[in-house]
Structure 1
Amino acid sequence: MSTITTVNPANGKNLDTYEEIDLDAASAKVEACHEAFTKWKLKSAEERAEVIKGLGQALRDNKEELAQLMTDEVGKLIKDSRDEVELCAAICDYTAQTGPKELASEPRDPSNAGRGIVTYSPIGVVYGIQPWNFPAYQVIRYAIASLMAGNGVLLKHASNCTGSGLMIADIFEKGGLPKNLFTVLVIDHDTSDAIIEHDKVRGVTLTGSDDAGKHVAQAAAKVLKPTVLELGSNDAYLVLEDADLDTAVEVCSQARLYNNGETCINGKRFIVTEKVYDEFLKRFVARFEGVKTGNPNDEDTDLGPMARTDLRDTVHEQVEKSVKNGAKIECGGKVPDGDGAFYPATVLSNVKPGQPAYDDEIFGPVASVIKAKDDEDAMRLANDSRYGLGGGILSTNEDRAIELASKHFDTGMVFVNVYGVADPSMPFGGVKNSGYGREHGRFGVKEFVNVKSIFVGQP
């Protein structure tokens, strides 16, 4: 039987070893999750909400232990790990507060019956395949919505944060969630494909690359199962002619470097109008040169290691290929000596089509700065991408920025004069190769439900 060994990316030392289970053992866990679901679905929405509220408290009660494990497994700054646990608890609070109302039955007045009722019924076991960059949040984001809807939940976590996934399961049980209702599967990719086909699995959700999304979507489509996909992106932040440059530099720096640059809705391409390009680039580079890289457990560290050395090496290869094709390194761009998966805060200029820095997602602390002729050209360049998850607009004309965001920006999310990751009340998801479906808000809780019509005649 194969094993998984987790490694601390800050120092290269092994953390723990876990044994993968085979298909028979994984199938037994699916059956147990389904059995737990058959009881959970009969609970009222209010009863489920009380349990979910308890899960939020359990996450807070175990915040330090979970935060430290996430930092050890993937190199997140410890302060960001703590914030992540708080966000997860806030998702539980929000879902417990709003879930019963969102899932309440709705009366209708059909023409072919005396009255009608629309109900939102759970569908069964939902299988989630999740990445490593937010070991808790990625899990909570889909799991809590599915549990609120009355479903059972399976998790296949990224191998390098296996411990975090298992700890979340323990925390959920401590918080009062019925046994087996949330189940972690420590399995390989072939077994994962077989789990998608399992007759007790009724929906699949994945956060990952667009290639992984295509694979999972095809596997689920073959067995007619709904999917929600949150995939990669190379989000553009537009610095318009009237932008306040102090705000623009600070927001764009946060957008690129948050979570060590390993976030799907990090800003990655910074499209700057010609009028302010030179001054923005000078200030932006100075900001990146001042970043302190180091131990993610130190409170004054700005940038920790990337999650794995192979991921760091991929980012460096993308930088080198971009430079070979004409990009210029303004700062950073060199793999440092020593242990760990560190990579410096890097700014590339002269970024154009045909370079990974323009065309692809660089999942690390590398910013691509692109010059636009004017505001109209900036929006054209922003939409010149196969992706469409998020993006940003920096402008002192807020009303115009909102109009551009709503009418012209071809993405699922837009940040105006601010950078943010997620909020429980706001839908999260994208378009084009960034996937489909929405999580959070009143949308996420209804992604995996049976919207059922009941027609009632006169007795």
Structure 2
Amino acid sequence: MNVVNPATGETVETYETDDEADVVTALDHAESTFESWRKRPQRDREELLVSAAEILRERQSEYAELITREMGKPITQAESEIEKCAWVCEHYAEYASTYLEDEYHPSPAGTEVKTSYEPLGPIFAVMPWNFPFWQVFRFAAPNLVAGNVGLLKHASSVPGCALAIEEVFRDAGFPENAFQTLLVSSDLVEDVIDDDRVKATTLTGSGPAGSAVAAASGERIKKSVLELGGSDPFVVLDDADLETTIEKGVRARNQNSGQSCIAAKRFIVHDDVYDEFVSGLVEGAASLTVGDPTDPETDVGPQASAELLAELHDQVERSVAAGATVETGGEPLDRDGAFYPPTVLTDVPDDSPAARDELFGPVAAVFRVDDESEAMARANDTRFGLGGSVWTTDRERGERLAHEIEAGCVYVNRVVGSDPRVPFGGVGVSGFGRELSEAGIKEFVNRKTIWVQ
């Protein structure tokens, strides 16, 4: 696997891939490790997660630089990603026992009936490049502390991150094979799913990849969780606090250089505040610093590869050809690296890519609506259903409309995020199942009913 720095276009590292024999060996190790790991006291597993959090903080700069080198994330955002991984480890270290506590049920006199939450075994995770540490840790922390073991097939562009994550768990004191990285191509994914030792699968990534993993898992009667793409609505009502809403809107679209499933992508704005909001959004987007991701002053780094930049620009060009107006940005920067500027599109036609597809980069599509009814219709005019947000000074109005948006999570007056304390996941083509919180740790356990007469 060749690692290409997207800020320079240069190959910076090469990794030798695993072959089929390596995969078989890893599965053997996973199966044998699970038999002992599942018997470890819950508190022992929790203490090891605390150790993992400590290692992440000790090596925050090292791992942040690795993220930036492999996929181009601005360095301050990469540092925040490592901190968030430490947080999710600490969260499950504190709450796993509560989440997995036996649940007792009404039963006849003299009997005891309960549900016990027991681990399944080796869980296979297929993960993407855009949050190369966080999206792995939000899978790994709850599953390891629940007594499962993990096998990771990471994106081929971030093999260094994949191996570093394995290193964190090993150095924290987890059994050597409790969490293993497989440096394999996508061609071997179905073979891993097909193996009887793998008990469940999870994927964060594109719709086609999710469909393939779900189909392979379903054919083998294996549980799967999918977190796929999104085209999140950012609904701005006529009574919104525009100064705050514009500031948050600029961040919601351009964080991680726009490469986030839960980024705000479709800005749906009430006519009464449309002109002022668009003016502020354009000004804010144009003021962001695009450049060297290792510079702490950089707001927007490169797209993760030249190929991804080309795909994004093609979507913009086709949207403009269909009738959209470019208010700022809209052309790749004339410099080395895969740099695309923050872009704002207005007058976006309903049948254009900016309205129908997921634009995975710093491109905001803005739509004008006359009232909240039209805003809700526009918000739900998508096959995606990951997240959304509503911006209003009337909290009751915001909550009422949050119930109308068809998505896995809706935030009122806050940018959509994934937080260890609350369930995260989507509906429709954005996937199924939940990660994080109590719901996430219970996705891959045997909910065993035990009746004692």
Q: Same fold by TM-score, threshold 0.5 exceeded?
A: yes
Aligned twin of 1:99: 96
Aligned twin of 1:427: 423
Aligned twin of 1:243: 240
In 1, Cα distance between the equivalents of 2:215 and 2:316?
A: 32
Residue of 101, 107, 111 corresponding to 1:110? 107
In 2, Cα distance between the equivalents of 1:210 and 1:398?
A: 34
The alignment partner of 1:336 has SS state of: coil
Residue of 270, 295, 306 corresponding to 2:267? 270
In 2, Cα distance between the equivalents of 1:343 and 1:113?
A: 69
Contact 2:386 2:426 in 1 (8 A): yes
Letter paired with 1:71: T
* Residue range with higher mean Cα deviation, 384-393 or 111-120: 111-120
In 2, Cα distance between the equivalents of 1:27 and 1:190?
A: 15
Contact 1:205 1:228 in 2 (8 A): yes
2:447 pairs with 1:455: no
Letter paired with 2:7: A
Contact 1:156 1:186 in 2 (8 A): yes
The alignment partner of 1:48 has SS state of: helix
Aligned twin of 1:58: 55
Letter paired with 1:335: P
Contact 1:352 1:370 in 2 (8 A): no
Contact 1:208 1:231 in 2 (8 A): yes
Task: State the Cα RMSD in Å.
Answer: 1.1
2:178 pairs with 1:174: no
Aligned twin of 2:405: 409
Aligned twin of 1:388: 385
The alignment partner of 1:268 has SS state of: strand
2:435 pairs with 1:436: no
Contact 1:45 1:103 in 2 (8 A): no
The alignment partner of 2:409 has SS state of: coil
Contact 2:124 2:150 in 1 (8 A): yes
Deviations 1:150-179 (A, max 9, x none): 001000000111100101111211111110
Letter paired with 1:443: A
The alignment partner of 1:121 has SS state of: strand
2:334 pairs with 1:330: no
* Residue range with higher mean Cα deviation, 196-205 or 418-427: 418-427
Contact 1:124 1:201 in 2 (8 A): yes
| Contiguous gaps of at least 5 residues in structure 1 | none
* Residue range with higher mean Cα deviation, 341-350 or 411-420: 411-420
Contact 2:123 2:148 in 1 (8 A): yes
Counting only pairs closer than 5 Å after superposition, residues 292-441 of structure 1 correspond to structure 2 as 292-405=289-402, 407-441=403-437
Deviations 1:287-336 (A, max 9, x none): 11111111111111111111111001100000001111111111100111
In 2, Cα distance between the equivalents of 1:336 and 1:103?
A: 51
Deviations 1:117-173 (A, max 9, x none): 210000000000000000100100101111011001000000111100101111211
In 1, Cα distance between the equivalents of 2:40 and 2:399?
A: 42
Q: May I ask how many residue pairs the two structures share in their alignment?
A: 453
- The Cα of 1:106 is off from its aligned counterpart by 2.1
The alignment partner of 1:392 has SS state of: strand
The alignment partner of 1:428 has SS state of: coil
Aligned twin of 2:117: 120
In 2, Cα distance between the equivalents of 1:58 and 1:287?
A: 37
The alignment partner of 1:11 has SS state of: coil
Aligned twin of 1:188: 185
TM value normalised by structure 2: 0.98
Residue of 5, 9, 13 corresponding to 2:10? 13
Letter paired with 1:163: G
The alignment partner of 1:159 has SS state of: coil
Counting only pairs closer than 5 Å after superposition, residues 31-70 of structure 1 correspond to structure 2 as 31-70=28-67
The alignment partner of 2:158 has SS state of: helix
In 2, Cα distance between the equivalents of 1:38 and 1:64?
A: 36
TM value normalised by structure 1: 0.97
2:203 pairs with 1:206: yes
In 2, Cα distance between the equivalents of 1:396 and 1:119?
A: 44
* Residue range with higher mean Cα deviation, 184-193 or 18-27: 18-27
- The Cα of 1:352 is off from its aligned counterpart by 2.4
* Residue range with higher mean Cα deviation, 341-350 or 26-35: 26-35
- The Cα of 1:448 is off from its aligned counterpart by 0.1
Letter paired with 1:442: E
The alignment partner of 1:317 has SS state of: helix
Letter paired with 2:426: G
- The Cα of 1:421 is off from its aligned counterpart by 2.4
In 2, Cα distance between the equivalents of 1:103 and 1:154?
A: 22
2:24 pairs with 1:27: yes
Contact 1:292 1:301 in 2 (8 A): yes
The alignment partner of 1:404 has SS state of: helix
In 2, Cα distance between the equivalents of 1:83 and 1:437?
A: 26
Aligned twin of 1:133: 130
Contact 1:113 1:455 in 2 (8 A): no
Residue of 286, 291, 299 corresponding to 1:289? 286
| Contiguous gaps of at least 5 residues in structure 2 | none
In 2, Cα distance between the equivalents of 1:94 and 1:205?
A: 21
Contact 1:428 1:439 in 2 (8 A): yes
In 2, Cα distance between the equivalents of 1:368 and 1:111?
A: 60
- The Cα of 1:111 is off from its aligned counterpart by 4.5
Residue of 147, 152, 155 corresponding to 2:149? 152
In 1, Cα distance between the equivalents of 2:304 and 2:74?
A: 11
Contact 1:429 1:437 in 2 (8 A): yes
* Residue range with higher mean Cα deviation, 378-387 or 19-28: 19-28
* Residue range with higher mean Cα deviation, 417-426 or 440-449: 417-426
